[in-house]
Chains A and B, each alone.
Chain A
Amino acid sequence: MAAILIVEDDVFIREVAEMTIQGWGHQTLVASDVDEALAILRSPQHIDALFTDIYLKTAVLGGCEVAIQAIALRPGLRVLYTTGNTITDKMKALLVEGTHFLSKPYTENQLEESVKTMFA
């Protein structure tokens, strides 16, 4: 089982994702914005994967920033992005290589498939 950091600014979505992922036997850590996420990433806690929304409140591409810094802090970390917005070229240029993407709204099945693919 893995430890997954969930970064999502919407409380309900974050908690449903947390319960769902925990339901599959994984450990979860949660953050609602860039600063909280980076604080956890800089801590000594064990983290296997990052599941982050791209659009985080005032930071339009906050999730991209989190992922870039996360990989710099923890090379080899698995990353799964999500967003309700269309992926633009500017956004694509900021996505960390070898990572995965899940568009909103996603179902439990789609999230499960994405998490499995991320760890495959």
Chain B
Amino acid sequence: MKIRDDATVTGASEGTAGRRQAEETLLKAGALQNAIFNSANFSSIATDAKGVIQIFNVGAERMLGYAAAEVVNKITPADISDPQEVIARAKELSIELGTAITPGFEALVFKASRGIEDIYELTYIRKDNSRFPAMVSVTALRDAQNVIIGYLLIGTDNTARKLVEAEQRKLDQRLRDQQFYTRSLIESNIDALMTADPHGIITDVNKQMEALTGCTRDELIGAPFKDYFTDPERAEAGIKRVLMEKKVTDYELTARTRDDKETVVSYNLTTFYDRGRTLQGVFASARDVTEQKQRERDALSLTNEISHRIKNNLQVIVGLISYEAKWTAAPCVQGYKTMQARIGAIAQLYDLISQTSRGQTVAVDAYLREIAKTMSASLLGNMSGIKIEVEGEPVEIDPDRAVPFGLLINELTTNAIKHAFPGGIGCIRLCVQRAGDQIELVVADDGIGMTNVVTKSPEKRGTDYVAIFVRQLGGAIMPSEPEATGTTVRIRLPLLLVPSGGAEPLAA
């Protein structure tokens, strides 16, 4: 039933000023009623005391799909509500208010009938059986004696709000899923992970970090990172370094738990930023390298043991040669010394290989210097007038080729010592340099030159060895130019040497 438009004309027969005022008031009230009851955005349903619908405005018609005539004096609002919700509401109110409330219209208006403000969500059912969520406000209508004569249920369609809420719930769930995923990644990592602010204060950790430090997440967060390591200064220096360099890798620290259990860890540290590229802190990932360190110690111990045995065996050979030399005629002694120098060259190679941290290459410049030093000591002595100088480009050689390469230098240098300087004074220069896609080894002396040397048959062995080593290295001896003084031997080798960083000429 629609409110009548002519309601404002009731009692319009009086002609006093009071009457005009009353008429104006009524006019305003009528306009307000019209606005409310004809609003398409609010469903206004008024009932009698028993709940039977008496008024069903245009908003209710639009939302619910019924014409007023189809519902007025025929049904209650409970008949167009979700019955399950009505039953549930009756049950909840019965518990809340401590009295039995019948599922049905009573459940919809019980609070309002007791003078309690009541606004709640309710699912209305349209004429076509489709549903929509509504926010319903219920007010009891009373007469002059305060007796309830009916109820007014004003509803708004909550569909859009519900959709927004549903969307928000989805987004919240997606965010929670994302957070769970991210957390799972952090927690499932085998490394101890941590974030710290730029001052080195821990802001987040994973379980592995708790295990590494023996502290709980709550204890760690807010504490200084450096406090959990045997060397706090080094730990702090790591944070400072990553703040300067943005990335630090393989930074070793020893973590210590409260009960003094120590774990050697290798840290990778990086800085991280927010969307605006503002520094947020440091991300640190620590891998337990205790076992790796033990393996390295074991390997080093084994290397030392092997090196000790090899060097002792070589020492025995050198000792045997020395002993033999004592009982040998003077002209043959030099041959024994040459043999000792060859053994010394091989021994130096062992040292250089063990000193090469990468373990895969030998530094040729250092190798040349060591050979020169060994030969100077064993063949020349401090008082000798013959000097050996080294000029080596910083190149590296693989260990397989280092032996023939070292022995080649040994033979050429020994040859120069023996034949180039009858006066006992001179200089031998050992040089390794890149020549295009080849390597050039130069052994030069400023002695008497080859034409003046009389090669004795037994000493030709050294020359034979040189040819063998050059062939072994896949190289070639370059034709020598006639020289006024001295001898220069140039040997070209395939590019078996690898250039390394730096370029510092060396001299022995």
A83 to B301, CA, bound (A): 15
Contact among B310, B316, B344, B355 with A107 in the assembled complex (CB-CB below 8 Å): B344
Q: Which of A64-116 contact B (CB under 8 A)?
A: 83-86, 103-110, 113
Q: Is the CB of B311 within 8 A of A109?
A: no
| Best-surrounded residue of B316, B319, B322 (most CB of chain A within 10 A) | B319
A113 to B377, CA, bound (A): 8
Q: Is the CB of B318 within 8 A of A105?
A: yes
Q: Which of B333-389 contact A (CB under 8 A)?
A: 337, 340, 343-344, 347, 351, 354-355, 377-378, 381-382
Contact among B308, B316, B378 with A85 in the assembled complex (CB-CB below 8 Å): B308
Overall SS of chain B's interface: helix
Contact among A19, A55, A105, A109 with B381 in the assembled complex (CB-CB below 8 Å): A109
Show the binding face of A for B, using Cβ within 8 Å. 10, 12-13, 16-17, 19-20, 55, 60, 83-86, 103-110, 113
A60 — which chain B residues lie within 8 A by C-beta?
301, 304
A84 to B319, CA, bound (A): 14
User: 3 nearest interchain CB pairs?
Assistant: A84-B311, A16-B319, A105-B314
CB pairs A–B below 8 angstroms (29 shown): A10-B316, A13-B312, A13-B315, A16-B319, A16-B322, A16-B323, A19-B323, A60-B304, A84-B310, A84-B311, A84-B312, A84-B314, A85-B311, A86-B351, A103-B311, A103-B351, A104-B312, A104-B315, A104-B347, A105-B343, A106-B318, A107-B318, A107-B340, A107-B377, A107-B378, A109-B378, A109-B381, A110-B378, A113-B381
B301 — which chain A residues lie within 8 A by C-beta?
60
Q: Is the CB of A105 within 8 A of B322?
A: no
B337 — which chain A residues lie within 8 A by C-beta?
107, 109
- How many Å from the CB of B413 to the closest CB on chain A? 16
Q: Is the CB of A106 within 8 A of B354?
A: no
Contact among A16, A55, A107 with B308 in the assembled complex (CB-CB below 8 Å): A55
Given contacts A104-B312, A105-B317, 14 further A-B contacts (CB under 8 A): A13-B312, A19-B323, A55-B304, A85-B311, A103-B311, A103-B351, A104-B315, A105-B314, A105-B315, A106-B318, A107-B322, A107-B337, A109-B377, A113-B382
A10 to B347, CA, bound (A): 18
B contact residues, range: 20 to 34
A13 — which chain B residues lie within 8 A by C-beta?
312, 315-316, 319
Show the binding face of B for A, using Cβ within 8 Å. 301, 304, 307-308, 310-312, 314-319, 322-323, 325, 337, 340, 343-344, 347, 351, 354-355, 377-378, 381-382
The chain A residue with its CB closest to the CB of B355 is A86
- How many Å from the CB of B323 to the closest CB on chain A? 6
- How many Å from the CB of B316 to the closest CB on chain A? 5
A19 to B320, CA, bound (A): 12
Q: Is the CB of A85 within 8 A of B307?
A: yes
A99 to B308, CA, bound (A): 21
- How many Å from the CB of B309 to the closest CB on chain A? 8
A103 to B348, CA, bound (A): 9
Q: Is the CB of B377 within 8 A of A105?
A: no
A20 to B323, CA, bound (A): 9
- How many Å from the CB of B397 to the closest CB on chain A? 19
B340 — which chain A residues lie within 8 A by C-beta?
107
Q: Is the CB of A106 within 8 A of B315?
A: yes
Q: Is the CB of B316 within 8 A of A104?
A: no
A113 to B394, CA, bound (A): 31
A83 to B347, CA, bound (A): 12
The chain A residue with its CB closest to the CB of B370 is A103
A110 to B318, CA, bound (A): 11
Q: Is the CB of B314 within 8 A of A104?
A: yes
Evaluate whether A105 and B307 lie within 8 angstroms (CB atoms) in the complex, with A10-B316, A12-B319 already known. Answer: no
A20 to B142, CA, bound (A): 130
B355 — which chain A residues lie within 8 A by C-beta?
86
- How many Å from the CB of B305 to the closest CB on chain A? 8
Q: Is the CB of B322 within 8 A of A104?
A: no
Q: Is the CB of A108 within 8 A of B322?
A: yes
- How many Å from the CB of B144 to the closest CB on chain A? 105
- How many Å from the CB of B359 to the closest CB on chain A? 13
A108 to B343, CA, bound (A): 13
A13 to B315, CA, bound (A): 7
A107 — which chain B residues lie within 8 A by C-beta?
318, 322, 337, 340, 344, 377-378
B319 — which chain A residues lie within 8 A by C-beta?
12-13, 16-17
A108 — which chain B residues lie within 8 A by C-beta?
322, 325
Evaluate whether A84 and B308 lie within 8 angstroms (CB atoms) in the complex, with A12-B316, A13-B315, A103-B351 already known. Answer: yes
A106 to B312, CA, bound (A): 10
- How many Å from the CB of B296 to the closest CB on chain A? 13
- How many Å from the CB of A10 to the closest CB on chain B? 5
Evaluate whether A10 and B315 lie within 8 angstroms (CB atoms) in the complex, with A84-B308, A85-B308, A110-B377 already known. Answer: yes
B323 — which chain A residues lie within 8 A by C-beta?
16, 19
Q: Is the CB of A105 within 8 A of B354?
A: no
